[in-house]
Amino acid sequence: MNGRTAEGGRQKADHPAPSAISIQPSAVWDALASVPDPEIPVVSITDMGMVRDVTVGDAGRVTVTFTPTFSGCPALHVIRESIEQAVRDLGVADVEVRSTLTPPWTTDWIGDDARERLRQYGIAPPAPTGEGQLIQLDAEPTRCPRCGSLNVRMTASFGPTLCKRMYVCDSCREPFEGFKSV
């Protein structure tokens, strides 16, 4: 965050027309890696696997393609604006943010590192989605993020946000949130 602000300031001072500078897609990816998920700030939108593609056109236009996690997620507008702002902060004037549904986002897109940070934050990371059995009447096993026990009970199948449900651990007695395996 600090680095980006300093960078933006330097560009403003030294380069009056920053949009003319050709930017590398990797720099855009780096900037997007520090855009937090609005509802779970411990992970970024790239950690979550929401950013699908970054392209830089000949005229310097940056196009970012992202995919929504849940179709009814109220944070989608915030995420879209955050992506645009993060790219503009790199000195890019022409930014386009597109959304795609294909392939559909699943929790399998969440990286291992982000899963560990979710766990440390107190949210049980999602189990593998188990392709091929989308419609089943029973839920997947979940592990307590605190003590690692599988001796847990779901106390509510929906939680404070669309992506989570509520549990209590019968081993360490701690209530916790678990990421749905979608």
Partner 1 sequence: MTTTPTTLTDTQTQALLLKLTVLADDEIILAHRNGEWTGHAPILEEDIALANIAQDELGHAGLYLSLAQTLGGSDPDQVAFWRGPDDYRNTRLVELPKGDWAFTMVRQFLYDTAEALWLEAATRSTYAPLAEIAAKAVREEKFHVQHTALWVERLALGTPESERRTQAALTELWPHAAQLFQPTQGEDELTAEGILPDLNAVHARWTDLVTRHLVDKCGLTLPDAPTTQPGRDAHTEHLAPLLEEMQSVARQHPDAEVW
Residues forming contacts to partner 1 in the complex (CB under 8 A) are 68, 70-74, 100-106, 129, 134-139, 155-160, 162, 165-166, 180, 182
CB of 19 to partner 1, least distance (A): 28
DSSP 58-115: TTS-EEEEE--SSTT-TTHHHHHHHHHHHHHTTT-S-EEEEE--SSPP-GGGS-HHHH
- In whole angstroms, what is the distance from residue 168 CA to residue 48 CA? 25
CB of 100 to partner 1, least distance (A): 7
Q: Which is nearer to partner 1, 13 or 134 (CB)?
A: 134
The answer to whether residues 135 and 102 touch, using CB atoms and an 8 Å cutoff, is no
Q: Which is nearer to partner 1, 11 or 106 (CB)?
A: 106
Q: Which is nearer to partner 1, 89 or 108 (CB)?
A: 108
Q: Which is nearer to partner 1, 15 or 98 (CB)?
A: 98
Q: Which is nearer to partner 1, 2 or 157 (CB)?
A: 157
Tokens of 129: 């989605």
Instruction: Give the burial class of 58: count Cβ atoms within 10 A of its Cβ; 0-12 exposed, 13-18 middle, 19 or more buried.
Output: exposed
CB of 105 to partner 1, least distance (A): 8
CB of 162 to partner 1, least distance (A): 6
Tokens of 5: 């602000």
CB of 10 to partner 1, least distance (A): 34
- In whole angstroms, what is the distance from residue 178 CA to residue 125 CA? 6
